Structure 1
């Protein structure tokens, strides 16, 4: 068995598991008991989407996906910080 075949199978299995976790995150975001659970679900959602994009980049053998994952990571951090600040103070810009 070729090592490339094993790597592709491992990437596909991992992608399926990450997709399942994405669906569970969406369910938690929609069904969360309060706003903090929804913010944490959104944070985990973008982290899982980054993992899925990196897996797609590994599967296709392209480095362009890694730059997209980095952009999503930066935007996700800023959005989580802004939502948390809004939740604490009710205002984002002081």
Structure 2
């Protein structure tokens, strides 16, 4: 369920852009909103979805919430794609061997 939720969250172009910005380093909501063509409340809603998908986490820094990539969720997503890629390569190798 977690991997599906993460992929669905990244299916939205604005959320994907927010996630990509956070890959470069932690940012507060206001900093993200200043870089995007959406309102601060909209950025907060997108961050909520990304957080529920375990792709980002937040920390209180003074009066601000600073968001960063959540390595646990990203690792689960990477494991999913690594497994999928491994199966695809195995199937390809088997098809090649059968042709020979």
Same fold (TM over 0.5): no
Length-normalised TM-score, structure 2: 0.34
Length-normalised TM-score, structure 1: 0.36
